Amino acid sequence: MVKDDIYFIANFVKNETLENGGSTYNLKDGNMAGKELFSVSENKEKEVVLKLEKFDEYSVIQFIETNYEILSNPDYSLGSWISGDLVYLDISRTVTGIENALDIARRNNQEAIYNLYNLEEIRVD
C-alpha cells in the first residue's frame, strides 16, 4: 500500500467516525456506506478500543498496518464506531443477506450487525 493511500484512508475513517458516528471502509472498494451489504464482526480479538480524545488518523494507520493481511482481503473492511466516549476499530466482514449476517453475528457472540444500505444498526436477538 502506498503511503499516500494509507493517509487518505486514515483521514477518511477518522472524519467519517467523528462526523457520522462510524464508518466501514474496504481497502479495495472504499467507503461501503450505501452498498446493499451487511457489516458484521467475526474476530473480537482484533478489536481496538480507544478513548475518543485519543482517536486520530495515526491510530487508524496503526490498526491498518497491524491488520493489513486480513484487510487486504476484499471480504473484510475496517469498521469504526463511537459508543459514549469510546471509539471502536475492528475488522468487519461485509456480506449479503440479513440472515447470513445475523448467523455470523450469533456464532461470534456479537450484539449487532450494521445495514450498510440503510445505515442502521440491527440488534441480534
Q: Is pLDDT of 1 > 70?
A: no
Cell numbers linked to 86: 469510546
- In this prediction, residues 12-17 reach a mean pLDDT of 97
Query: Half-sphere exposure of residue 116, counting CA atoms within 13 Å on the CB side?
Result: 25
- Identify which has the larger pLDDT, 125 or 62: 62
- In the chain, what are the domain boundaries? 3-123
Contacts of 60 (CB under 8 A, 6+ apart): 9, 10, 13, 14, 78, 80, 89
Q: How many CB atoms lie within 10 A of CB 120?
A: 10
Q: Cβ–Cβ contacts within 10 Å for residue 40, how many?
A: 25
Per-residue pLDDT reduced to its tens digit, 67-100 = 999 999 999 999 999 999 999 999 999 999 999 9
pTM for the structure as a whole: 0.91
Q: Which residue has the cell 461485509?
A: 94
- Provide the grid cell at 48: 481496538
Q: What is the pLDDT of residues 24-73, one digit of tens each?
A: 999 999 999 999 999 999 888 899 999 999 999 999 999 999 999 999 99
Residue 108, phi then psi, degrees to nearest 5:
-110, 20
